[in-house]
Amino acid sequence: MKRTLPLMAIGLILTALLAMPLKGDKLPDGSLAYQQTEDTRVPGPFESSGSSSRYALVEAIVKSGTFFFNDVQAGLAAPDLVQYNGKYFSIFTPGVSFAVLPFYLLGNLFGIPQLAAYGATTLVALVNLLLVVLIARRLGAGIIPSFISGFIFLFGTNALTYALTLTQHHWSMLVILLAILTLFKQPGLLRNLFLGLLYGAGLLIDIPNAFILLPLMVYAAGQHLAGIDEGRTVKIKLKLVLIFLLLGFIPLLGAFGWYNKQVTGSATRLAQFIGRSDYPPKPKTTTEKKPPDPYAPTLPFYSRNQLNGLYILLISNERGWLYYSPIVFIGMAGLFLAVKRKETEKIAVVILTMAGLTITMYSSFGDPWGGWSFGPRYLLPATALLSTGIGLAIERWKRSILFGLAFLTIAGYSIYVAAFGAFTTTQVPPKQEAEHLVTFIPYTYAYNQQLIDQNKTGSLVYNLWLNGRVPLTTVVMMYQGIGIVLVSIAYTLACRKRIFKKNDI
């Protein structure tokens, strides 16, 4: 009972904090907006085609029993749609749309299909917070530092902003974090089946997950290999249970192939390989063809872009971690501490490798900005992975006043910035586009601050009950303050309670 009440209180606080910026609005007749109409205004749930294209697929499945879009759905999904054989469909893999189908159907019974579908992502974000806490705990952090890890992951990074969308990010993080947590279990048949299933789910949600999860799968497979030294030769013994990694992967791979067969005509042809299509279609014009550039990149990932990509994703004021959520670097330091502990060394290396691979992969991507977005959205899987180390850093340095001041300052700043995106929009332009707009829009979170000053928000709670009564600036300031106070209280409690013996970390 002593633990139940605090846990219930924490759960209610977290749910309230997540519900506050949940996107929505009301119509003049008092009903909820966006439920039966596709309004793409900013800020709103359909402001980005990254969400609306997936939502259009859900609608097409439920209303028409097809993966192909009608004219209204194609207009909602544009420009993230493909035209092939005269039919339009989403350019994205179908995993997210498949996952939210039950939520859409349930919400549709109550007249809130959009709210329920998007709410599924918000629910997954809350689960991801818990998974970060559990992983931090398994890595050696105490209960309170582990909670700080999870809380800051969700409320101190752009993970909060994307918890309110219908994008792949939190669903990808769910698969990745579950896979990491599964590594703490003893190798065996059921664990391998589950890891294979997660790998297939990751592929169905977003293609890059197949690369991000690869180090983990290699490590898991390596646990079933044994070397036998026979003098001049070494034999590798392969345990039969390894095959269950593949068996777990096959069902969802088959589902993905079936979907591709329906929309592109081939189980192995992806919509992304066909490319985006205009909607409405533009008339064809005869133009003189230019000779191909022999130095033009032929793959999505191109090493010549990497230096600029690293700058954009790590330190720039456009999308950089340093500018949007510098708390992540403290998590990175914590994981390096975990590498030094025998009990957690291998898994910490796997986590750091996956995070490093994510950074390397997307820094060589042609569009490290992620289009119009809030913060480094491509690095969200790495953000979740590195956040698991925040609690370890607290455990190691919590006795240092200097670290405490630095930590609370950085955590407070990260929470402060995250709230701006959550209450307004993800549609922040890259610098190269912002400078050429007819009406200039800031290419940093200054744009989000401008919208707040203008009392423009996508918050359903604010639009329903607070608009006209309390200035939005006051609400956001209170929201930021609550987050900072909660972390400060938790950090103070962590400092007062001795959880580890000396030299444990």
With respect to residue 24, please indicate whether it lies within any of the assigned structural domains.
no
Q: Is the pLDDT of residue 263 over 80?
A: yes
Mean pLDDT is highest, among 91-105, 286-300, 490-504, for 91-105
**Rounded Cα–Cα distance for residues 468 and 24 (Å):** 16
Domain count for the chain: 1
Q: Which two tokens stand for residue 40?
A: 């793409």
Closest among 420, 424, 468 to 45, alpha carbons compared: 424
Alpha-carbon gap, residue 122 to 109, rounded angstroms: 20
Residue 303 amino acid letter: S
Tell me the pLDDT band of 286, cut-offs 50, 70 and 90.
low
Flag whether 403 is in a domain. Answer: yes
pLDDT score at 290: 59
The predicted pLDDT at position 239 comes to 73
Give me the pLDDT at residue 500, please. Answer: 40
Structure tokens at 454: 């203008």
- Give 66-74's long-range contacts (Cβ < 8 A, gap of 24+): 67/94, 67/259, 67/262, 67/263, 68/263, 72/38, 74/279
SS3 per-residue string spanning 304-319: HHHHHHHHHHHCCCCC
pLDDT at 92 over 70: yes
Q: According to the model, what pLDDT value does residue 231 have?
A: 57
Residue 293 lies in a domain: no
Kindly indicate the confidence band of residue 374, based on its pLDDT and cuts at 50, 70 and 90. Answer: very high
pLDDT (0 to 100) of residue 287? 55
What's the rounded mean pLDDT across residues 241-268?
A: 94
* Terminal CA-CA length for the chain: 32
What's the whole-number average pLDDT of the chain?
92
CA distance 237 to 243: 14
Domain of residue 62: give its range. Answer: 35-288+317-496
Specify whether the CB–CB gap between 137 and 499 falls below 8 A: no
Q: Is residue 158 part of a domain?
A: yes
pLDDT at 141 > cutoff 90: yes
Confidence of residue 293 (pLDDT cuts 50, 70, 90): low
Here the tokens at position 409 are 């300052």
Q: Which of 16-30, 145-159, 294-308 has the lowest mean pLDDT?
A: 294-308
Mean pLDDT (whole number) for 61-67: 97
Asked whether residue 216 is domain-assigned, the answer is yes
pLDDT at 387: 98
Average pLDDT over residues 74-100: 96
pLDDT band with cut points at 50, 70 and 90 for residue 504: very low
pLDDT over 50 (residue 295): no
Q: What is the mean pLDDT of residues 81-99?
A: 96
> Is there a cis peptide before residue 297, judged by omega within 30 degrees of 0?
no
Residue 386, classified by CB atoms within 10 Å of its CB into exposed (0-12), middle (13-18) or buried (19+), is buried
Q: For residue 37, what pLDDT is reported?
A: 84
Residue 10 lies in a domain: no
Span 160-207, pLDDT tens digits: 999 999 999 999 999 999 999 999 999 999 999 999 999 999 999 999
Do residues 148 and 497 make contact, with C-beta atoms less than 8 angstroms apart? no
Res 147 pLDDT > 80: yes
Neighbouring-strand partners of residue 26: 32
Looking at residue 499, what is its pLDDT? 41
Token digits of residue 493: 């409690």
Examine residue 2 and state whether it is found in any structural domain, yes or no. Answer: no
86: left (phi over 0), alpha (psi -120 to 50) or beta: left
Specify if 463 maps to a domain. yes
Distance of alpha carbon 100 from alpha carbon 116, whole angstroms: 8
Residue with tokens 């010549």: 304
Identify the CA nearest to 398 among candidates 490, 482, 485, 335: 490
pLDDT at position 225 is 78
Q: What is the pLDDT of residues 402-459, one digit of tens each?
A: 999 999 999 999 999 999 999 999 999 999 999 999 899 999 999 999 999 999 999 9
